[in-house]
Amino acid sequence: MRLGIDLDGVVADFNTGWIRRYNRDFGTQIPFDAVESWDGIPSLTHFRDMGEFWEWARDHDGHTLFRHLEPYPGAIEALERLSRRHDVVIVTTKPDWAIHDTFAWIARHRLPTREVHISDRKWEVPCDVYLDDAPHVLEGLRRRRPDTTVCRFVRPWNQPVTGVVDVHTWDEFEDVVRGLWSETHAL
């Protein structure tokens, strides 16, 4: 099966990454788990809007913030196991200026993929199963790809979406994929 996997908030720990950097740059002590809503960043910082946040995120010692993110524990190991039987298709949304750092990150962490899509029109990438954390992405995939399995990686900044399967851990996602695989291969 083709597994459409998002990066930020799913494989890459975007919030810990930017908060660590912000605390260092500005002498603040924002806890790593402070983000509890999709648009929560400006309210935790001195940035007036996401435009100002992205302006800051764009240049960290000659690289973008995305280059410095850490993977969530166990995420890459789970992708490796999944890639033995399935195609891991990376489907991620990024600003234009983050494209090269995204490829660098995928290479540095040796993600087991041969296919990367950097797009905000994720539904255009055909997959059997999708895994994402963004509320609007999950709704869009559910609506435009009705014949697929869409999974929400449950995070404090998202809520249940009708018709979307909730997964809390990578183990749970592997169970969902295994279940779908054995359904298709029953008989």
Residues lying near Mg ion in the complex (CB under 5 A) are found at: 6, 8-9, 133-134
Least distance between Mg ion and beta carbon 9 (Å): 4
Residue 102 in contact with residue 118, Cβ under 8 Å? yes
For Mg ion, the closer CB: 85 or 168? 168
Residue 129 in contact with residue 1, Cβ under 8 Å? yes
For Mg ion, the closer CB: 47 or 157? 157
Least distance between Mg ion and beta carbon 27 (Å): 28
DSSP states along 71-138: BPTTHHHHHHHHHTTSEEEEEE---GGGHHHHHHHHHHTT---SEEEE-S-GGGS--SEEEE--HHHH
Least distance between Mg ion and beta carbon 7 (Å): 7
CA-nearest of 170, 186, 183 to 88 is 170
For Mg ion, the closer CB: 134 or 150? 134
CA-nearest of 85, 101, 86, 81 to 12 is 101
Cβ-closest position to Mg ion: 9
For Mg ion, the closer CB: 101 or 133? 133
For Mg ion, the closer CB: 13 or 133? 133
Least distance between Mg ion and beta carbon 8 (Å): 4
SS (H, E, C) 34-68: CCCCCCCHHHHCCCCCHHHHHHHHCCECCECHHHH
Burial, 14: exposed, middle or buried (Cβ in 10 Å; 0-12, 13-18, 19+)? buried
Least distance between Mg ion and beta carbon 75 (Å): 12
